[in-house]
Structure formats: C-alpha cells, structure tokens
Amino acid sequence: MPGTDWKEEMIKIFYRLGAEIKLAQSITEFATIGKENVLWIDLLEPSGDEKRAVESYLGTEIQSRAEAEEIESSSRFYEENDAIFANTNFLSPAGDEMAMETVSFILKDGMLATLREIPIRTFNTLQLKIQARPDEFPDGFTVFVEIMDKRVDLDADIVELISKDVSQFSKRINQKEDISEEFLLDINQLQENSMLVRENIVDKQRLISNVIKSKLCPKTGDIRDDLGVILQDISSLINHINFTFERLEYLQDTVLGIINLDQNNIMKIFTFVSLLLMPATLVASFYGMNVSLPFEQKWWAWIGITGLMIFLVCGTWILFKRKKML
C-alpha cells in the first residue's frame, strides 16, 4: 500500500533429514517436522503469528523485546519449563559509535530458538555453515556454542580495532599533531566504546557461565569443554580491554596536560609582554600629565623620553633573561 512502511518478516527452521540439514521458512511446516529433528529456529523481526506458532511448537513463551532488553540478571538468564532463556547484546561498529542489538536465546529439548530484530553477520555465516557441514551440528546446543564462539571472535576484532585507534592516538600525541579539544572528545568517544565492549563481553561471560552451571546443559559430549574454552578467551579479552581503557585514561591525562601547558605558555607570553612594557608605560604616563615637568621645554625632550623607555624595556628583558624566566 502506498505510504505504508513494509518490514521483512522472516523465520528459518533448520531441521535434520537423514544425513542432511534442511531449511524451512514457513510456520506451516511445523506440522510435518518432528521436534526431535529440529536444530534451530531463527526469528528475524517475526510477526505475531510466527511468534505464537513457535511458542506453541516449543511449549513455552517467548520474551517480548522489552523483557529481553532489561538489565536485571534475573531477566538476562533464567530457567523455566525445562528450558533455558538467555539474552545478550551483540555489538557492531556504527561510525565512531557502537550499535547494540539484543538477541534472545531459548534452549529446550535440544532445540535452539533465537529472536532478533536486525540481520547479524554471525547468524548469516553460521546458517551457511550448518547446511555445508551438517555433521558438526547434532543439536541446538552445538549451534549455540558456535554462535557464542563466532561472536567472541568478532568482539576480539572490535577490541583489536580499538587498540589500533589507541595506538594511532598515541602517535599523534607524540608528534604533537592536532592536539585540541576535538581530539580530546575523540578519546572520550573511544573510552565510551571501550566501556560498551567490556560491558558486552562481561555479559557474555556471565551468560556462558550460567549455561555451564545449568542442569539442562548436556553433561556428555564436548559442549561444556567448548564453553569453557570460550570463557578463557573472554577472560583474555577482558584483560585486553581493561589495559586498553587504562591506556586511554593515560592518553586523556597526557592530552589535558599538553593543553594546559599550551594555555600556560600563552598566559606566560601575555604576562611577560605586560611586565615588559610596564616601566615604559609608567614613564609615558608620567610625562603625559598636564603639569610642569623637567625638560618639557627642551627640543630634545621627546628623544630623551623615548630613549629612557627603550632602555627600560631592554633592561627588563635582560633581567628576565638572566633570571631564566623566559
């Protein structure tokens, strides 16, 4: 309809059929797919009918977007009706800032259901890999582990980009290139991005730790070991981003110090010029008074006064120079 915004609504159902993994894209196909064969249900901007169909198929409710975005730990991870509910944020660079999107996960009976509002590269890449290598994904938990692993790798790339920006800023400071208020604001923006990345990584660390501790997490297979390796990678990332943030604080202090020194030098010049001209100004003011003064009737009086003023200026300069105040 003209003048009406249209949003793409999408559902992808990955299910096992023999040795292959097939893709269905309609809720009507739930009737022909056994739950034991479903691997992953991915919802991207789902309609109300699609959400209700998935809820009916899983036998549990799906969180609303408002509930998924809550920051309380009880909303970020909980277990109910033999299902694991987890929410975490996925970051992506958006110009100088970071865009953050909440993704919801539901793990139940070996199935994984995900809910998101925007396309995410990690999901698109993984969906191609699932169909190309079906043997590597026996159930929904392996898909969840792969998503977390790829996401942590992307977070590591973001941390690396921030580190490179910090190194560039450090070079600019060492070369005294464009040290201004705008440069200080750039450092502040990078600090904000670093805090967002750290918050995001810590959130994933908490999520994965809770999944490992859950009684619903498979005790056999490599799921727990793989999640443990991801936790180690996250710990390394946290140490790295903490170090990067400390470097940014140091750079910020350095820039502030340079700006303060420049301002002090400017004030020093103005102060010196004022002191330098003060004796000469005193003489000029004295002879500018409307009273009788010595030598005022002499033709050479102006030459003498000018010479005295120059002498006082030069004397003041020499005095400051000897006192090493310049």
- Whether the per-residue pLDDT at 211 is higher than 80: the answer is yes
pLDDT digits (tens, 9 = 90+) for 310-322: 877 787 777 777 7
Extract the tokens encoding 276. 């330098």
Mean pLDDT of the chain: 82
Find the mean pLDDT for residues 39-60. Answer: 90
Q: What is the CA radius of gyration of the chain?
A: 35
At 210 the pLDDT is 92
Give the number of C-alpha atoms closer than 13 A to the C-alpha of residue 68, restricted to the C-beta side: 22
Domains, the chain, ranges and CATH? 10-260 (3.30.460.20), 261-322 (1.20.58)
Lowest mean pLDDT among 82-86, 101-105, 129-133, 262-266: 262-266
The number of beta carbons lying within 10 Å of the beta carbon of residue 284 is 14
Provide the β-strand partners of residue 14: 23, 40
Identify the top-confidence range among 87-96, 177-186, 238-247: 238-247
| Residue 261 reports pLDDT greater than 90 | no
What is the reported pLDDT for 8?
44
Q: Greater confidence, 238 or 9?
A: 238
Tell me the pLDDT band of 141, cut-offs 50, 70 and 90.
very high
Whether the per-residue pLDDT at 116 is higher than 50: the answer is yes
What is the rounded CA–CA span in Å between residue 275 and residue 261? 21
DSSP 135-170: GG-SSHHHHHHHHHHHHHHHHHHHHHHHHHHHHHHH
Structure pTM? 0.75
* Contact call for residues 86 and 76 (beta carbons, < 8 A): yes
